[in-house]
Amino acid sequence: MKRYLLLSDGTVFTGKPLGASGETVGEVVFNTGMTGYQEILTDPSYSGQIVLLTYPLIGNYGINDDDFESDRIQPTGLIVKEACEVPSNWRATKSIDQLLKERNKVAIQGLDTRAITKRIRTAGVTMGCICDDLEVGKARLESVQNYDETDFVYDVTTSDPYEWGREGRREIGEGNESGRVRLVVLDCGLKYNILRRFWKAGCQPIVVPATATVDQIMDLKPDGILLSPGPGDPRRLGPVVETVKGLIGKRPIFGICLGNQLLCHAVGGETYKLKFGHRGSNHPVKDLITGTVTITSQNHGYAVDANSLTGTGAEVTQLNLNDETVEGIRIKGADASSIQYHPEAAPGPWDSRPYFAEFVEKMRATL
């Protein structure tokens, strides 16, 4: 049986079924990581997107119960060259095909993924549809809203506040650990490993919806505030930006990925869409203050406009060495800073993990 990937410009790639049957539509993007497909599949920042994994064999170590980064599969679809049918790993409980079928997610394999990647790099990201019938796929693609016109953050944020503890998610107030600083996390598309890393660094993370107000956040008596990663265009998140604006100067603030872009907008800066984004585990970033270079894990399609920060009180602190895009900013006199990449990795290198302990120390210094 054949399955197709239909792009918005009419280009068709023919492959074989993977996962559930049916059709799915999304913005087609690629990730260059060699491992970490389970974490990628459960990363909320991929909401609304069909993810192409450039590494040719996916699924060889299976799916386990420990490496999920959220409670669901987040991309609308998946594209791989070859999906391993018989994984080999002592932690594995199922194959990637079994997971996709269980979660009713449509995917495709057996295509020329290099050709698709080269096309995206040349022409930019595009909307696409994975389907078994080209006429049905064409109709779906014509009827769907463009990725840039959709607010995905409100689909992936938590509906209710909660705490994160030693065993994971729990109701607020259930924990009784002493000596931990209180970190309120504005959830715009949070990955579990961010909470795990902050917990290990000595925090008590308290997660609130992206719709939380300044007063609701401050009522939780935070020692610090985290602006989380998330999907979509930050320019569509006016209410969230206003919340961030109201929080600046009240407590130490740290932003990750989308959080970096929200902090930029909160001080009057601008962002723009990248041609094909940064998605992978080997992006070199230079710290302009220390001169050090770290290899980072990234997943974003928008970037901060450095020129727009002039006169805002924000300064660029880090740059991507591949294309010199902004990778970090800080707000002078406000104890607020952010980075564009993912220090928690999952998947990816651990070079930037010290940021968790450093921010915890900042929070303790204000007590």
Annotated catalytic residue within 265, 283, 300, 342: 342
Q: pLDDT grade, residue 173 (50/70/90)? A: confident
The two tokens of residue 224 are 């610090």
The two tokens of residue 349 are 């290198």
Q: Is 344 a catalytic residue?
A: yes
Q: pLDDT grade, residue 331 (50/70/90)? A: very high
Q: Would you put residue 153 in left (φ > 0), alpha (ψ -120 to 50) or beta?
A: alpha
| pLDDT for 238 | 97
| pLDDT for 366 | 87
| pLDDT for 179 | 87
Overall average pLDDT of the 67-75 stretch: 97
Q: Is 257 a catalytic residue?
A: yes
| pLDDT for 80 | 98
pLDDT at 178 over 90: no
Overall average pLDDT of the 47-52 stretch: 98
Tell me which fold the domain 3-149 belongs to: Glucose Oxidase; domain 1 (3.50.30)
Q: pLDDT grade, residue 356 (50/70/90)? A: very high
7 pairs with which residues across the strands?
Answer: 128
- Which tens digit of pLDDT belongs to each residue from 229-267? 999 999 999 999 999 999 999 999 999 999 999 999 999
Annotated catalytic residue within 23, 39, 327, 344: 344
Beta carbons of 28 and 52 less than 8 angstroms apart: yes
Beta carbons of 68 and 99 less than 8 angstroms apart: no
Q: For 153-365, CATH number?
A: 3.40.50.880
Annotated catalytic residue within 27, 257, 283, 300: 257
Overall average pLDDT of the 321-339 stretch: 97
pLDDT at 176 over 90: no
| pLDDT for 367 | 83
Q: pLDDT grade, residue 38 (50/70/90)? A: very high
| pLDDT for 175 | 74
Which position has the higher pLDDT, 217 or 172? 217
**Type and span of the H or E element at 131:** strand 126-131
Q: How would DSSP label each residue in 244-289?
A: HHHHBTTB-EEEETHHHHHHHHHTT--EEEEEEEEEEEEEEEEETT
| pLDDT for 306 | 98
203-209 and 224-227 beta bridge pairing: unpaired
Overall average pLDDT of the 163-179 stretch: 86
Cα–Cα distance for residue pair 362/176, rounded to 1 Å: 23
* Domain extents in the chain: 3-149, 153-365
Cα–Cα distance for residue pair 212/190, rounded to 1 Å: 15
Overall average pLDDT of the 196-211 stretch: 97
Q: Is 188 a catalytic residue?
A: no
Overall average pLDDT of the 278-292 stretch: 97
Q: Which of 76-80, 162-166, 212-216 has the lowest mean pLDDT?
A: 162-166
